[in-house]
Amino acid sequence: MGPAPRIAVLALSALAISCASTGDQATLADLKNVTIEIKEERIEGGIEKAIEGYEQFLAATPESPMAPEAIRRLADLKIEKEYGIIGASSERARAERPTGATIDRPAPYEAARRQATAVPAAPARGSRPVAAESERDFEKRATESQAIESVAQTGDAPLPAAADLERAGARDAIALYKQLLAKYPLYDRKDQVLYHMSRAYEELGELDEAMAVMNRLVKEHPRSRYVDEVQFRRGEYFFTRKKILDAEDAYKAIVDIGARSPFYELALYKLGWTFYKQELYEEALDQFVALLDYKIATGYDFEKSHDELEKKRVDDTFRVISLSFSNSGGPTAVTEFFGRTGKRPYEVDIYRNLGEFYLDKRRYNDAAVTYKAFVQRNPLHRMSPHFDMQVIDIYRKGGFPKLVIDSTKDFARTYGLNAPYWKHYDPKAHPEVVGYLKKNLYDLANHYHALYQDKRLDRDKGTNFQEALTWYRESLASFPQDADAPGMNYQLADLLLEHKAFGDAAREYEKTAYDYPGHEKAAAAGYAAVYAHREALKGRAAAGSEIVREEIIRSSLRFADTFPKHEKAAVVLGAAADDLYETKHYERALATAQKLIGRFPDSEQDVRRAAWLVVAHSSLELQRFKDAEDGYLTVLRLTAENDKAREAVIDNLAASIYKQGELASKQEDHKTAAGHFLRIGHIAPTSKIRPAAEYDGATALLHLKTWDRAIEVLQAFRKNYPGHTLQPEVTKKIAFAHKEAGQPALAAAEYERIETETKEEELRRGALSLAAELYEQAGQAGQALRVYRRYVEHFPRPVEMALEMRYKIAGLLKSANDTKGYVAELKQIVDADARAGSARTDRTRYLAAVSALALTEPLYERFTAIKLVKPFEKNLVRKKAAMKEATDAFGKLVDYQAGEVTAAAAYYMAEIYHHFGRALMESERPDNLDALEREQYELALEEQAYPFEEKAIAVHQKNLELLGVGVYNAWIDKSLEKLAKLMPARYAKAEDDLDFVDTMGPYRYEATTAPAAPAPATPAEKLVQAEQTEQASPQPTTPDTVPAP
């Protein structure tokens, strides 16, 4: 049964359902529950009836849920009626696919393959097409728009030809598609509608309209089954109009889909061309190489014959790769590219094609460099020797005789019998190479050596040296067992020595001395090797000297062991011991020096002295300090009194003793440590390390708490080394010792000295603070006050520490009964806190609060001092004014939010109220009152006094609320005592039961929850902590290294 009859039945069935529903007043939702049976039967005039049925259906039920599908079917049927197109079965198959799932590519393999290989004809690969086809013609042909087969044509109903689409049916279909899209924007097959609409526009030649629809499709339906085909058509549209960036985006979208798209290979190819057009050759190469990788992955073999179209595509790809590499740096670019992206099995073809490209253009050097680049990158490839031969042939064709010679020699070097190449191939398969080597290597070596020695050819000396060197080495490598090999090797070493290539000469002399059976020149060659190594060290930069020195040591030890009777054996062994020490091989250096002392007791004194110096130095580095001390004493005995070297030996002797003291100190044997440190002054009094040793000796005495002895040593240090950098540290230690010895005044003077000797602000502040505290301990309040004032003057910041010092000043002034100064200092604290801004802290606020409290307390005293006596009214006015002044002042203290001060303020305010009430009751009575008037007067006073007592109780109770937030202090305790007297029934046993706190109501101020801010560590406390740490862990004051021998 064809699609038209089935559609007709469906349309008529839907129409019948719609009509039948009218009488029952059913809703559109009911329609979803109707089961539609599609019968397989043919109806005459099926398409026309189907069209008529759909039109009637749409006219009768335009809002039906089936309307979108009916519109699309109607559009398809109009085209089918016009052109006889059959494709509904595919349409139904698509409709039955679950929506929302990832849609696989529906095109069968055959269609995909036809699209992948549908390219314009290209010259066959390997035929060097450049001469037959220019680069411009090649680019034009290779980038022509691809004639692709629509994915929809493999399953969907194909669209008619462009000429037929000019008919009204196509226009009607487009109109219906537009109607469907406009009326049903959420139609689940909108991508299919957009795809057919774009194809219709495209075949009509209305490409701009087609592009607009395709743009909409890729934007709104990026996962549509049609998206890769549409993106490719968009890419072709943009590419042919030179909108390269837009084309790039379209092709890239397909590449991102991956190999499952039938357009993947074409997209890679065209994407590469978009980059090539933009001169982005590296990006272009990435795509072309990805295409070749894809071919390899799908089983393509470049060595076999293939489908002609597929082979032409590959050839064109290789050619554009050659163009890209040529434009981006040539063979260097190739090497860099594959170095970055990794090797490829077709890499040899890339180089070959690029070489042929250059050769066809007669760019001989570029061609040769290209082949050579492959060889350098793939030295063990089976084609490398052939590429090297091609290089020689290219230079010969180009007329470059010198390059022919050079490349021929290079060939000989690369493929000598000992070359790595022959580890992978059998030399017997290359008899021409072996024959060439046998005939020419010996003669080349001697010939170029003679030219090198010819003074008339000094201008070519370097070239002749390299040539001689090359052929000597090749001869020895190719024929190592030849009878003349030792002689050839010695000649090679002589050549290198003549040329001052000392390292290479040394190695060749060693081979001559030790690698052949015994011969008459062996010992001479061994000594010559040591000489050459040492010559090499003279010209070597520090960065590489250690390697050369290791070679000297190795060669020297081998020479002394192999040829002990040689006249230079002891000297060579002693020099090796020196080298071992300098390279920090201390155990070996010590053993070598001791070997020399034991094996050559009659050697010259200077040789033995040098050996003992190595023994001493090595023992010191190995922390065998007593052995080092003995060794240095032996060296001194072998050194003349007037020898300038004695000074360094004495310094090292002192260092060995110092290290013994340092070791004892680490083991916390401070008594032994002090003995070692201080004996340096007797054994090596002129040593540079003596000041540091005596300083550390004093430190050890401090650990032993022998304060007087430590002070004695430190004061001697101060006197003997006045300009020494440790003088500030000495002052600190003297101060510490005096302090610990119970001499606070002396310690304070030293701390003042510390403040003047250092520039470090924190240390200066700590020294002054500690000095002031020590003066206080010594009972020298005046000195303490002076130091505190110096602190405040020089260090107004940090504000917190400055206020701490001012608070101490205030305390001293108070103790000295300097009320005026005391009050002034308190005001300074309050003002400084108020001006602190962002530097204000909880501590500064607390200090200011305490100071403000002290300044406010006299107001209470002034208030209580006013008695309510005659003249009563005048005194009453004065007392009320004093009360207001006091309560206002105490009320402001609450703003500091300092728990202790808040409690104090509350206490005083309560006491002011209580006192005022009591003062009323205790006021002087008028004299002229009779008994009744006096009784009435007393009652009036009680009425006046009672509210003040109530206020007093309320404020005291409010003070107790601070207990609920964890604040307790003496002022709260005082309020509790007062309440016990004012309300004994409730508060007499408050210490046992504080539940009454929960019953208290609010009062006019909010109790702070902040207790008194703890004082931060003062500079003095920090300094003391630092001193304790320093005394516990003294740092070494001498270098760990000693001078070289």
Whose CA is closest to 293, among 351, 353, 342, 229? 342
Q: Residues 6 or more apart from 855 whose CB is under 8 A from it?
A: 823, 826, 827, 830
The two structure tokens encoding residue 687: 């040593």
Place of tokens 């007297």: 981
**Is 863 inside any structural domain?**
yes
Flag whether the pTM goes above 0.85.
no
Whose CA is closest to 115, among 146, 142, 141? 146
Which H or E run includes 500? none
Whose CA is closest to 318, among 343, 296, 342, 289? 289
- Quote the DSSP letter at residue 1005: S
Burial 1000-1029 (b: 16+ CB within 10 A, else e): eeeeebebbebbbbeeeebbbebbbeebee
**Is 930 inside any structural domain?**
yes
Q: Where are the alpha helices (DSSP H) in 928-1018?
A: 931-960, 970-982, 984-987
**Is 890 inside any structural domain?**
yes
DSSP per residue, 134-189: -HHHHHHHHTSPP----GGGGTSPPPPPHHHHTSHHHHHHHHHHHHHHHH-TT-TT
Question: Sign of dihedral through CA atoms 265, 270, 272, 273?
Answer: positive
Amino acid at 487: G
User: Would you state the pLDDT for residue 453?
Assistant: 95
- The domain in which residue 898 lies consists of 842-1012
Report angle CA 536, 541, 543 to the nearest 5 degrees. Answer: 115
The two structure tokens encoding residue 175: 């109109």
Whose CA is closest to 618, among 601, 599, 604, 631? 631
**Is 514 inside any structural domain?**
no
**Is 907 inside any structural domain?**
yes
Q: How far is CA 416 from CA 163, 392, 462, 467, in A?
A: 74, 17, 23, 15
**Is 789 inside any structural domain?**
no
- CA 79 from centre of chain: 65
Are 1020 and 977 in contact by the 8 Å Cβ rule? The answer is: no
Instruction: Give the integer Cα–Cα distance in Å for 805 and 799.
Output: 10
Amino acid at 936: Q
User: Would you state the pLDDT for residue 45?
Assistant: 64
Mean pLDDT by 10 residues, the chain (1045 residues): 42 38 35 38 63 72 69 68 44 34 30 38 41 78 72 46 48 85 89 90 87 93 93 93 94 94 93 94 94 91 80 90 92 92 92 93 94 92 85 90 79 81 84 58 81 93 92 86 88 94 93 92 92 89 80 94 89 95 95 93 92 96 95 94 94 96 94 94 92 93 91 88 87 86 86 85 88 88 90 90 92 92 93 92 92 92 91 90 93 89 91 89 84 86 86 88 83 87 79 44 41 61 64 48 41
Instruction: Give the integer Cα–Cα distance in Å for 735 and 757.
Output: 13
The two structure tokens encoding residue 419: 């070359």
Instruction: For 898, list phi and psi in degrees, rounded to 5.
Output: -105, 120
Which H or E run includes 779? none
Domain count, the chain: 1
**Is 852 inside any structural domain?**
yes
Instruction: Give the integer Cα–Cα distance in Å for 590 and 615.
Output: 5
Q: Residues 6 or more apart from 314 whose CB is under 8 A from it?
A: 125, 292, 295, 300, 302, 306
Instruction: Give the integer Cα–Cα distance in Å for 252 and 267.
Output: 7
Instruction: Give the integer Cα–Cα distance in Å for 51 and 4.
Output: 9
Dihedral angle, C-alpha 827, 832, 834, 840, nearest 10 °? -140
User: Would you state the pLDDT for residue 609?
Assistant: 94
Whose CA is closest to 960, among 919, 932, 996? 996
Burial 702-724 (b: 16+ CB within 10 A, else e): bbeebbebbbebbeebeeebeee
Instruction: Give the integer Cα–Cα distance in Å for 946 and 1014.
Output: 40
The two structure tokens encoding residue 595: 């070997």
Place of tokens 């040689």: 566
The two structure tokens encoding residue 759: 């520039």
Report angle CA 38, 44, 50 to the nearest 5 degrees. Answer: 55
**Is 301 inside any structural domain?**
no
Question: Sign of dihedral through CA atoms 497, 503, 508, 512?
Answer: positive
